[in-house]
Amino acid sequence: MIELSTKSLFFVLLLLLAPFVLRYRWKGRKTVFLILNIAVISLAAGSLMQLAITAVWILIPFLFVRFVKKQQKLQPVLIIWLIASFVYLAGYGFLFSVLHLDLILPFKILGLSYFLFREIDYVLQMPYLKEQGYACDLTDYLNYVLSFYTLLAGPILRYKAFADDFHKDEDQKGYIPIAKQELFTLINRVVNGYFKVYVISAILDHYARYWFDGLKSHSSMLHAIVAFCIFAFFNCWFIYFNFSGYCDIVIGAAGLAGLEIHENFNRPYLSCNVIEFWNRHHITLSEWIRDYIFMPSYKLLLSGPLAKAAVAAQAIALFFTFFVAGIWHGTTIDYVMYGFFQGLGIVVSLLYREKRKKLLGKQKNKAYENNRAVIWITRIMTWSYISLTFSFTGYPVMPLFLR
Amino acid sequence: MDIKERLQDVFRDVFDDEEIVISEETTAADIDGWDSLTHIQLVVAVQNEFGVKFSMVETSSMKNVGDFIRLIESRV
């Protein structure tokens, strides 16, 4: 959650001033953006040690792409190293306790999980992009990985989209004007974003915490179940308003600076199944895991042991993908459960859809899917399931169950 | 049969629809059921039909029929 502090006020100031610098086209523009990005990460880092480790972790993928010759062969090694070091740096508590390891680093690196996405995308995409004539110097790379607009919680940019967008209009000189209507729309979006984060989600967070704390002293099982459902209700709306509000702020502010950041939400709680939900919620994460986890694992299964069983291959690959994505969200055992339930929800949605298609046939299935009553019933069922699974994010639910 | 005709047969087979007619501009929006799940089925079926292999990046970068044709042409 974004908290009101000196650092967040500095961030507001930065969002207000950056457009004046970034809308101006001159050859030093990307260096100025880099200075701003380094200033943000330096202020956010707790110590020099933290900053040094962040720098090393970020620079290795760039050096790999720049200097290693047999990249295709060594790519898997680098990716495994990046994931392993991410797990270590992020401090996955349940893994450390299972392996009886002690955490050496007493701090968390800011934006670490999002760095991982950008680094993997860069390593895998760059050889392909180079063939298409894309160039990337150290300044471009650091601006991509460290961009203060997406540093904290995405949306997850791809290098190609970032490079295309940042270097557009470079043949022009001077200030790139903004239309009045667009200016008001973007300012409105930023203000709405702050309202969602600091007012609506703050209220929802207060009630979610209130009902969660009440669970520790419940008088009966029925009371506990009702209290848990109310907590889940407030928590899922808190997640939506907090995260989508944050995205409104950064997408709007980046738009003021002439930069385009992809949309991350499309009314997710109107989804009719868990598959559709992940196409509408945290869209850039869904697209990333689709391209880099689901596609290779599904392709591997389809090309090998499950060549004649597409649905089984889909189910296994989807479960694996969303289980991994769930664990990526956090470092405690609660996030393992979150990943498990997301994977389960996706697989059930898939199998139900396939079974229904077979039973009803194409035409009847379409009519069923377009039936208003079915739409609303499935929306409510999906939202209920998602809100219960979201309970595992941000709250120690498993210790409560075990108690 | 040229590449486009063979590709059309693959599309008809994967999407189980004999009515499908493709052009280079055909995208997921034009074909019922072409989503991220069937996209991989399509890519694997195309690989098998033409005896080619696509990388992970190529798989996700193919957005329309024209992309498929150009990549196949560069391989066969």
Our measurement of the distance from residue A96's CA atom to the centroid of its chain's CA atoms, rounded to an integer in Å, reads 24
Residues 6+ positions from A113 with CB-CB distance below 8 Å: A86, A90, A328, A329
Question: SS3 for A113?
Answer: helix
Q: Which of B19, B40, B49 to mutate to test the interface with A (most CBs of A within 10 A)?
A: B40
Please indicate, yes or no, if residue A13 is contained in any of the structural domains.
no
Residue-range definition of the domain harbouring residue A383:
268-402
Of B40, B47, B61, the CB nearest to A298: B40
Q: pLDDT tens digit string along A48-78?
A: 888 888 888 899 999 998 888 888 788 889 9
Task: Show residues of chain A in contact with B60, CB under 8 Å.
Answer: 290-291, 295
Minimal CA separation from A321 to chain B, in Å = 13
Shared domain check, A277 and A167: no
Final residue before a domain boundary, out of A175, A190, A224: A175
Final residue before a domain boundary, out of A175, A209, A233: A175
Burial class for A260, CB neighbours closer than 10 Å (0-12, 13-18, 19+)? middle
Q: Is A303 on the interface with B (CB under 8 A)?
A: yes
> CB–CB of A290/B29 below 8 Å?
no
Asked whether residue A134 carries a pLDDT value surpassing 90, the answer given is: no
Please indicate, yes or no, if residue A253 is contained in any of the structural domains.
no
Final residue before a domain boundary, out of A122, A154, A175: A175
Which pLDDT does position A1 carry in this prediction?
45
Dist. CA B65–CA B68, nearest whole Å: 5
**Residue keyed to tokens 């690196």:** A109
Please indicate, yes or no, if residue A95 is contained in any of the structural domains.
yes
Shared domain check, A157 and A282: no
A158: pLDDT confidence band, cut at 50, 70 and 90? Answer: confident
* Of the candidates B1, B9, B18, B17, the residue with the CA atom closest to the CA atom of residue B65: B9
Please indicate, yes or no, if residue A216 is contained in any of the structural domains.
no
Domains of chain A: total? 2
Rank A45-54, A231-240, A355-364 by mean pLDDT and report only the highest. A231-240
Mean pLDDT of chain A: 85
Asked whether residue A202 carries a pLDDT value surpassing 90, the answer given is: yes
Q: Find the mean pLDDT for residues A341-364.
A: 88
Question: SS3 for A243?
Answer: helix
Q: Which helix (H) or strand (E) holds A174?
A: strand A174-175
Task: Show residues of chain A in contact with B44, CB under 8 Å.
Answer: 299, 302-303
Which fold does the domain B3-75 belong to in CATH?
1.10.1200
ipTM of model:
0.71
Q: Which amino acid is at A192?
A: N
Q: pLDDT tens digit string along B2-54?
A: 888 999 999 998 888 888 899 889 988 888 878 777 888 888 889 888 888 88
Minimal CA separation from A292 to chain B, in Å = 8
Please indicate, yes or no, if residue A332 is contained in any of the structural domains.
yes
Minimal CA separation from A310 to chain B, in Å = 7
Q: pLDDT tens digit string along A256-284?
A: 988 998 899 989 999 999 988 988 898 89
A49 phi-psi bin (left φ>0, alpha ψ -120 to 50, beta other): alpha
Query: A303, B60: Cβ pair inside 8 Å?
Result: no
Q: Find the mean pLDDT for residues A148-168.
A: 85
Q: Is A125 on the interface with B (CB under 8 A)?
A: yes
